[in-house]
Amino acid sequence: MESLFLWVEHSWLGTSVNNSLWAFAAFEAAHLLALAVIGGAVLVVDLRMLGWVFPRQRVSEIAAEARPWLIGSIIAMFLTGIPLLASLADSKYYFNEAFRLKMYFLGAALLFTFLVRQRVAMSDDARANSRMAKAVAVVSVLLWSGVGIMGRGIGFY
């Protein structure tokens, strides 16, 4: 695995970002913009499952409205995150505990969102408003918060 990180850092992408004065900051700022979008797209569905916003709209309707924004922001996150990772893959991120935890949280959050939460949100009204759905929403908020907190933590580690 470390050799992969080493290769990425010395690839064209890694060296171009690393040698530029502005590139890292620009990708970082775009990554932060995508964070705001993903935050809204995740939260509005979780808050609806908890019954805290749009109680008169069906969970499936809110989830369907949020879906293109969720998928679009996840793609934007990867497109902006990969150059950030590539720039210092081996010399910084490979040994960064916060980055490692962020990746575990990210994997768990993605699997949970698309395999579990999506199914509950799209099921019938009784199930989508059940106590189980509320628990799913809480887990979703916690997993995505973990990704965000560990992401911020990379800079402090």
Partner 1 sequence: MLLSFCQWLAETPFSTGIRESTYIYPVIESVHVLSLCIFVGLLLLWDLRLTGITLRRVAVSEVWARLIPWITFGAVLMVLSGLLLFASDPVRFFGNIFFRLKALGLFLALLNAMAFHLGIERRLVDWDTAAVTPRAAKLAGAISIGLWAVIVVTGRFVAYNWFSPLV
Q: Which residues bind partner 1 (CB under 8 A)?
A: 21, 25, 28-29, 32-33, 35-44, 47, 52-57, 61, 65, 69, 145, 148-149, 152-153, 156
C-alpha 30/C-alpha 20 separation (Å) is 16
Nearer to partner 1, 8 or 106 (CB): 106
Nearer to partner 1, 12 or 156 (CB): 156
Nearer to partner 1, 11 or 57 (CB): 57
Nearer to partner 1, 32 or 132 (CB): 32
Q: What is the nearest approach in angstroms of partner 1 to the Cβ of residue 73?
A: 9
Q: What is the nearest approach in angstroms of partner 1 to the Cβ of residue 126?
A: 22
Token readout for 110 is 């993605």
Token readout for 87 is 């720039």
Backbone angles phi, psi at 57, to 5 degrees: -100, 150
- Distances in whole angstroms, Cα of residue 135 to Cα of each of 50, 61, 93, 132, 142: 8, 19, 33, 5, 11
Nearer to partner 1, 13 or 43 (CB): 43
Q: What is the nearest approach in angstroms of partner 1 to the Cβ of residue 14?
A: 20
- In this structure, the number of other CB atoms found within 10 A of the CB of residue 58 comes to 16
Q: What is the nearest approach in angstroms of partner 1 to the Cβ of residue 69?
A: 7
Q: What is the nearest approach in angstroms of partner 1 to the Cβ of residue 29?
A: 4
- Distances in whole angstroms, Cα of residue 62 to Cα of each of 3, 8, 18, 40, 53: 43, 39, 41, 12, 10
